[in-house]
Amino acid sequence: MNDQTAAPSQQMFEPPDQPPDQPPAPRGRTPASADQPPTPSNGTPTPSNGTLTPPDGTLTPPDGTPTSPDRTPTPPDQTRNPSSQPPDMREIVGSHDILMVTLDTLRFDVADELAVAGRTPRLAALLPGGRWERRHSPGSFTYAAHQAMFAGFLPTPADRPGPHPRLFAARFAGSESTAGTSFVYDTPDLVSGLAEVGYRTVCVGGVGFFNKRAALGSVLPGMFQESHWSPELGVTSPTSFESQVALAERITADGDDRPLFLFVNVSALHQPNWHHLPGATSADGDTRASHAAALEYVDRHVPRLLAAMTRRRPCFAIVCSDHGTAYGEDGHTGHRLGHEVVWTVPYAHFTLPAAARTAEEPRA
Ligand SMILES: [Zn+2]
C-alpha cells in the first residue's frame, strides 16, 4: 500500500488573484470541436433539455451566510452580487448525473502554470476564466482527503475568509457551512446519501487506496454500490486514464438509467509519473516536469469522459486534487506532510448540458 496519496481540493467560481508577474489568464473559449469538452456553466442547474449559458469568467465565489441545518434552509445573501450564487444542489441532485474526479496528487502550482501556458486547453476550457481555483485540501494524503470529501468536506477556498457554504453536507447540528443551497442527507457520507435518493453510485479506482487488494484498500471503494479496479487503472500504467475513461464509457452505456454518481480517482499524476515525460526513463525518476506531463496526458482524454457523462442527462462535475506532493521543496519529497505544495490544490465545479439528441433517438 502506497501511503503517498493525499487530499483533494476544490475551487469556486472566481479564479484566484494573480501575482503581478503572472501572465494574464486565457479568457477566450475556443469553438467547440470533437476534441473539446462540452461548454460548462457554473452554478445554475439546467433543465433536462440541457440549455445552458456558458460561463463568462466573471462569476464570484459564493458568499453565503451559513445556516444551521436545523433551521429552514435559506439561500445565502446574494443581494450584493447576484452572480455570486452557489449552485443550488437541492435542484441539481436528482436532475443531474454527478461526476467527481480527483486528479490524485496534482499540485495547484503545476495545474495553474499549465492552464495559463495553454498546455491543458481542454481542462482550461471548463474553468471559470480558464483558471483553477486555489483551495486547501482537508487531508495531506489520499485516504484522509477522500474520507473528508466523501463526508461532504470538499477542499476549502484558500483566497477568501470563510465560512464557505458546502455543496453537500450530512445533517449535523451546529454546522456553520451547511447552507440553504446545500444538499443535506441523513446518512454519514455523500455516497450513501446519494444512493438513498435513488442514485447509482460507482467508483472507478486508481491509486492504492482504491485497489481492493487488502482491507484498507477496500474501505473507500466499499462506500459505493459498484467499484472497479485493475492494474490497468493504477499508478504504474502509462495508459491508466484512457483505461478509466473507457470503463466510464461502458458504465454510462450499460442500460441502467438511474441517476449516476460516478467517482473517478485519476492515478496518472501520482508517482511513478516519469513515463509521461517524453524521453524520460525510470532512472530519471519523477520530477515536477513529469508531473506536468502527466496532467497534459490527462487533458488529452478529458473530453471523452465528459461526453460519456452527458450522454443521458446534464452533469454536475467536481474536478479537483486530493493533495499535492513535494519534489524536494524545503527538503521534502512526497506527501502526507504539512507543506504548502501538499495542502494547496486546484479545484473547479461546473455544470454540463446533456448531449444533443441524435438520430439514434426513437422517433415520436
Ligand atoms: Zn492522493
Cell numbers 470529501 correspond to what residue?
Answer: 149
Contact 344/136 with Cβ under 8 angstroms?
Answer: yes
Rounded average pLDDT over 160-179: 93
- Kindly report the pTM of this predicted structure: 0.79
* Structure confidence at residue 222 as a pLDDT band (50, 70, 90): very high
* Higher-confidence position of 317 and 17: 317
CATH topology of domain 85-352: Alkaline Phosphatase, subunit A (3.40.720)
- The Å distance, Cα 12 to ligand 1 centre, comes to 21
Decide if pLDDT at 327 tops 70.
yes
Share of the chain above pLDDT 70, in %: 74
Query: What residue ranges in the chain does DSSP mark as E strands?
Result: 97-103, 133-136, 156-157, 168-170, 183-185, 200-204, 226-228, 260-266, 315-320, 326-327, 333-334, 344-352
**Whole-angstrom Cα distance, residue 316 to residue 31?**
22
pLDDT of residue 312: 95
Name the DSSP letter for residue 276: G
Name the DSSP letter for residue 170: E
Residue 233 phi/psi, 5-degree rounding, is: -95, -5
Length of the chain, in residues: 364
* DSSP letters spanning 37-94: PPPPB-S----TT---PPP-S------PPP--TTSPP-----TT-GGGPPP-HHHHBT
* Tens-digit pLDDT profile for residues 248-275: 999 999 999 999 999 999 999 999 999 9
Rounded average pLDDT over 65-90: 46
- The Å distance, Cα 90 to ligand 1 centre, comes to 29
Q: Where are the domains of the chain?
A: 85-352
- The Å distance, Cα 21 to ligand 1 centre, comes to 30
Beta bridge partners of 101: 264, 319
Rounded average pLDDT over 287-315: 98
* Higher-confidence position of 161 and 358: 161
- The Å distance, Cα 34 to ligand 1 centre, comes to 31
Determine what percent of the chain falls in helix, strand and coil, rounding each to the nearest 5.
Answer: 25, 15, 60
| Mean pLDDT rounded to a whole number for the chain | 82
Contacts of 328 (CB under 8 A, 6+ apart): none
**Rg of the chain on CA atoms, in Å:** 19
CA 81 → CA 21, 58, 60, 62, 65, distances in Å? 29, 11, 8, 9, 13
Q: What are the residues whose beta carbon lies below 5 Å from ligand 1 (ion)? A: 5-6, 104, 142, 322
- The Å distance, Cα 103 to ligand 1 centre, comes to 8
C-alpha cell at 167: 455543496
Lowest mean pLDDT among 40-44, 116-120, 164-168, 180-184: 40-44
